[in-house]
Amino acid sequence: MPNNRYQHITDAELLNQFYADHDNAWLGILLERYTLLLLGVCMKYLKNEEEAKDAVQHVFLKSITELQKYKVEYFKSWVYMVAKNHCLMKLRGKGRWHKEINETVMKTVDETVDKKEYVAHDHSLQQMELALEKLNPEQRQCVMLFYLEKKSYQEITEATGFTLLQVKSYIQNGKRNLKIMLERSHAHE
């Protein structure tokens, strides 16, 4: 990859560089990081390779023009929203999405910040064990196999007899429930 030498620079730093000198080359580097992900998202919604590739080009163009106009804090969530909105509008037929996108997307907050702050709280082991006990059996089984025994999705489906889709949702929901329970116990302290 040609832009490997920028690997150590974070998205936020690249954006700041762009806001400082308005050189689109920074956006080129930034957008390239997400090409594959954007292609996947567009493919998921549009279910057609050619349309998906077209949509990615639209997202690139849109990003280059929109980022000149206003400041974006969390590029990753922003560009994900741009892609999703573009695909949904496309599916809905031709519509006016220009205004809409600015309004919805500007409000996008980065979920990972919330998560990172959360990590800072050190949960005691007992709390975690208690919370694990309270999960329903399917979720507990999948969460333990996945996080503690580091089994892959595939291995978990084989071990439990659940479908791949079930395994994914048990892990996802199990983790979310753990988080909610720990937050609650934290609030009670």
Partner 1 sequence: MHMSKELNNILNNREKPIDQQALLDYLNNQLAGAELHDVEKALVDDPFLHDAVEGLQQMSPIQLQHHVDNLHRDLQKQVARKKTRKNKRRFKDQPWLYLAVMVFLLLVVICYWVMHRYM
The nearest distance, CB 114 to partner 1, in angstroms, is: 10
Output 102 or 172, the one with its CB closest to partner 1. Answer: 172
The nearest distance, CB 10 to partner 1, in angstroms, is: 10
Output b/e per residue, 31-50; b: 16+ Cβ within 10 A: bebbeeebbebbbebbeeee
Burial class of residue 85 in the structure, from the number of CB atoms within 10 Å of its CB (0-12 exposed, 13-18 middle, 19+ buried): middle
Output 25 or 98, the one with its CB closest to partner 1. Answer: 25
127: CB partners within 8 A, 6+ apart = 182, 185
CA distance 33 to 10: 11
Helix (H, G, I), strand (E, B) or coil at 14: helix
Output 45 or 97, the one with its CB closest to partner 1. Answer: 45
The nearest distance, CB 97 to partner 1, in angstroms, is: 19
Output 37 or 106, the one with its CB closest to partner 1. Answer: 37
Q: Nearest-CA neighbor of 121 among 67, 182, 77? A: 182
Region at 93 (left for phi over 0; alpha for psi -120 to 50; beta for the rest): left
Output b/e per residue, 14-26; b: 16+ Cβ within 10 A: bbebbeeeeeeeb
Output 129 or 158, the one with its CB closest to partner 1. Answer: 129
Output 47 or 98, the one with its CB closest to partner 1. Answer: 47
The contact set with partner 1 (CB under 8 A) reads 1, 22-25, 27-28, 31-33, 35-45, 47, 49, 52-53, 56-57, 60-61, 64, 76-77, 80, 84, 112, 115-116, 118-119, 122-123, 125, 128-129, 132, 143, 146-148, 150, 152-153, 168, 171-172, 175, 178-179, 182
The nearest distance, CB 148 to partner 1, in angstroms, is: 5
The nearest distance, CB 25 to partner 1, in angstroms, is: 6
Number of C-beta neighbours around residue 110 at 10 A: 14
The nearest distance, CB 174 to partner 1, in angstroms, is: 9
